Amino acid sequence: MYDETTARAARRAADAADDLVELTPATSPARRSSTPAFSFSRRVVALAVSSALSVGALFAFAYASRGGDVDAAGESAEIAVPAAAASAAAAGFADRSQEVSRSSVRDNLTAAVADENAQERAAAMGASVESAAEAEWMTNASERQRLMDADMQLVSAQSAKLKKEAEEAARKLAEAKKAAEAMGVSTSGMSAKEIEDLTTKGGSMPVKSNYRIGAGFGATGSWSRYHTGQDFPAPVGTPIYAVASGVVLSPTAGGWAGINVVIQHSNGGSTLYAHMSGKKVRTGQTVKAGQLIGYVGNTGRSFGAHLHLEYYKPGVTPGDVYAASNPMTFLRSLGVR
């Protein structure tokens, strides 16, 4: 088949060359026969055209033969797939539910362990902070005692002033009582409100919300000697109320108390409210039980926001901490539970 096709292509090329030569203009028969260059050109052109057509025919035959072979192979043979590729594909589509389940369990266990470790670190950090604070307090016990001794000297120097204020408060309380007995007629320039304040009976808790009961009177620990009042831990800004009616005295000069309020009561005793963030009353003002006098803070020598309440019996200078009495006993005497 190859020889026959090639021969046909060669004959077509020769015929085309003859036609091309016939179409070439000639001047005369004599000149055509006598010009060897022109005859050579005819042969060259014929040979080139014949070669081109032969090559084209050859490629056409090869392409046709290849197409037939591919089609025949496609009908009768399967595509060969490497064994490694087939194995990988099978593994990719295999049932992996058990492996996924194990992976999920591992992820859950990892998360649980991480959470537990985080909680342990937080607890350890909190314990470390508390231990450091306690160690600092205990290490500086002598320094705290020195500061408290200095405060007591200030309180002693303030004693005369507070005694005079206490006497004036007692006078107001006595006159308020007389005025109340005389149908509310005010005396010594006191207003009806002042008389009402000073003659109000009963008592009140110093804090009424968001608090808890802290260290009590007489407790030992990080204090210079012992705890001299009753603590009420509460957030900064929690309202503080007068536990009973009375007259506001000057705050104690002891720096340990920070911002503080002192109130003289009708029985001659007084209460001290320490570590406040701010106060709402002034010296000489009358207050009644349950009246707002300030807010919980963390001022002075305080470790954490709380109210420190102290009670001083009649004749004891407010701020003389080691002469203070249990304030909870005083609250119970007012009917406060």
Same domain, 147 and 45: no
Would you state the structure tokens that stand for residue 211, as one six-digit string?
């608090």
- Is 309's pLDDT higher than 80? yes
Nearest to 134 by CA among 66, 46, 222, 52: 222
Same domain, 239 and 326: yes
Burial class (CB in 10 A: 0-12, 13-18, 19+), 248: buried
Query: Which range marks the domain in which residue 221 is found?
Result: 142-333
- Is 216's pLDDT higher than 90? yes
Same domain, 157 and 282: yes
Same domain, 274 and 169: yes
- pLDDT per residue as tens digits for the range 51-108: 655 555 555 555 555 554 444 444 444 455 566 555 655 655 555 556 656 677 777 7
- Domain boundary (50, 67, 84) is at 67
In a domain, 249, yes or no: yes
Phi, psi of 275 (to 5 degrees): 65, 25
Out of 133-142, 165-174, 261-270, which region has the weakest mean confidence (pLDDT)?
133-142
176-189 average pLDDT score: 61
**Residue 61, pLDDT score:** 53
Out of 120-129, 219-228, 283-292, which region has the weakest mean confidence (pLDDT)?
120-129
In a domain, 87, yes or no: no
Q: Tell me the pLDDT band of 298, cut-offs 50, 70 and 90.
A: very high
Nearest to 203 by CA among 306, 311, 280: 311
In a domain, 118, yes or no: no
- Domain boundary (19, 34, 67) is at 67
Same domain, 211 and 315: yes
**Residue 152, pLDDT score:** 86
Reduced to 3 states (helix: H, G, I; strand: E, B; else coil), residue 248 is strand
**Residue 251, pLDDT score:** 96
CA angle 255, 241, 193 (to 5 degrees): 115
- Is 32's pLDDT higher than 50? no
Over the chain, what is the mean pLDDT? 76
Same domain, 48 and 157: no
**Residue 47, pLDDT score:** 59
CA of 330: how far to CAs of 83, 257, 320, in Å?
95, 20, 17
- Domain boundary (11, 38, 67) is at 67
Give the count of domains, the chain: 2
